[in-house]
Chain A
Amino acid sequence: MAVREKFQSDLRELERMLMELGVFADTALRNSIEALETKDTGKAITILEKDKIANKLHEKINDFAVLLIAKQAPVATDLRRIITGIKIADNIERIADFAVNIARSAIKIGNKEHIKPLNRIKKMYELASVMLKMALEAYHHEDTRTAKKIVVMDDEVDVLYDQTVLELLGHYQEDRKATVQIIQLLLVARYLERAADHVTNIAEHIIFLVKGKRYGLNG
Chain B
Amino acid sequence: MTVLTYRANPGDVLATAEEKAASPALNKHDVFSVSDLNLWYGEVQALRNINLDLKENEITAIIGPSGCGKSTFIKTLNRMVELVPSVRVSGKILYRGRNILDNSYKVEELRTRVGMVFQKPNPFPKSIYENVAYGPKIHGIRNKKILDEIVEKSLRGAAIWDEVKDRLHENAYGLSGGQQQRLCIARCLAIEPDVILMDEPTSALDPISTLKVEELVQELKKDFSIVIVTHNMQQAARISDKTAFFLNGEVIEFDKTDKIFSNPGDKRTEDYITGRFG
Contact = CB atoms under 8 A, between A and B. Distances in A.
Interface size class of B (residues with CB under 8 A): 10 to 19
B234 interface: yes
Give the interface SS of chain A, mostly helix, strand, loop or mixed: loop
Contacts of B275: 3-4, 7
Contacts of A143: none
Interface string B220-238: 0000000000000110010
A4 B276 contact: yes
A80 B274 CA distance: 12
B277 A77 contact: no
A73 B237 CA distance: 11
Interface stretch (B27-35, B151-159, B257-265): B257-265
A74 B274 CA distance: 7
A194 B275 CA distance: 39
Contact of B278 (A3, A78, A79, A80): A3
A75 B270 CA distance: 9
Contacts of B277: 3
A74 B262 CA distance: 10
A80 B273 CA distance: 14
Given A73-B234, A75-B233, A75-B237, A212 B262 contact: yes
A212 B262 CA distance: 8
A76 B276 contact: no
Nearest to B263: A212
Contacts of B270: 76-77
A70 interface: no
Contacts of B276: 3-4
A78 B274 contact: yes
A76 B263 contact: yes
B278 A75 contact: no
B89 to A, nearest CB: 33
Interface string B247-277: 0000000000000011110000010011111
What are the nearest 6 A-B pairs in CB distance?
Answer: A212-B263, A3-B278, A1-B278, A75-B261, A4-B275, A78-B274
